């Protein structure tokens, strides 16, 4: 959703400066009463008439800890994202597993499954393929 236009914000503030009520401004300009109060409060608090920028880049909470996280994963290769989040929490950094995964992905750092699980999964896949092939050959 895009921000309301600067012209609309200016009309709200001019109406308030003239002494017009917030309810009548909201009706006349077809905006919510809450938004009129929001524009008014922002202007009174910060002196800002413009909208705040939408979106933008946010630096990760763990961006400065790349070497530390890599060291933890080298020391314990089977560490899960949840365990890594717990270890970060002990350091005073609270982060959700999805946010941590996105940062690890940016660093091209993946958490591998153990070798046994990979072999078991590949075996099931091959057996299933052979099973399907033998049924289609017999029909």
pLDDT value at residue 6: 93
This model's pTM is above 0.75: no
The pLDDT of residue 31 is: 95
pLDDT at 132: 47
Domain ranges of the chain: 6-46, 63-106
What is the Cα 103 distance to its own chain's centre?
A: 11
How large a percentage of the chain has pLDDT more than 70? Answer: 79
The whole-number pLDDT of residue 112 equals 64
- Residues of the chain where predicted confidence (pLDDT) is lower than 70: 1, 112-139
Q: Are the C-beta atoms of 26 and 32 separated by less than 8 Å?
A: yes
Q: What is the DSSP string of 68-104?
A: HHHHHHHH-TT--HHHHHHHHHHTT----HHHHHHHH
């Amino acid at each position: 959703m895009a921000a309301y236009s600067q012209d609309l914000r200016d009309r709200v503030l001019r109406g308030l400066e003239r002494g017009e009520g917030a309810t009548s401004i909201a009706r006349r300009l077809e905006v919510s009463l809450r938004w009129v109060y929001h524009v008014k409060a922002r202007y009174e608090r910060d002196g800002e008439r413009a909208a705040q920028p939408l979106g933008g880049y946010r630096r990760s909470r763990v961006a400065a800890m790349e070497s530390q996280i890599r060291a933890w994963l080298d020391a314990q290769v089977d560490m899960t994202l949840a365990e890594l989040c717990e270890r970060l929490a002990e350091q005073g950094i609270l982060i959700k597993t999805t946010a941590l995964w996105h940062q690890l992905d940016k660093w091209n750092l993946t958490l591998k499954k153990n070798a046994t699980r990979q072999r078991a999964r590949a075996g099931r896949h091959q057996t299933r393929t052979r099973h399907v092939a033998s049924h289609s050959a017999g029909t």
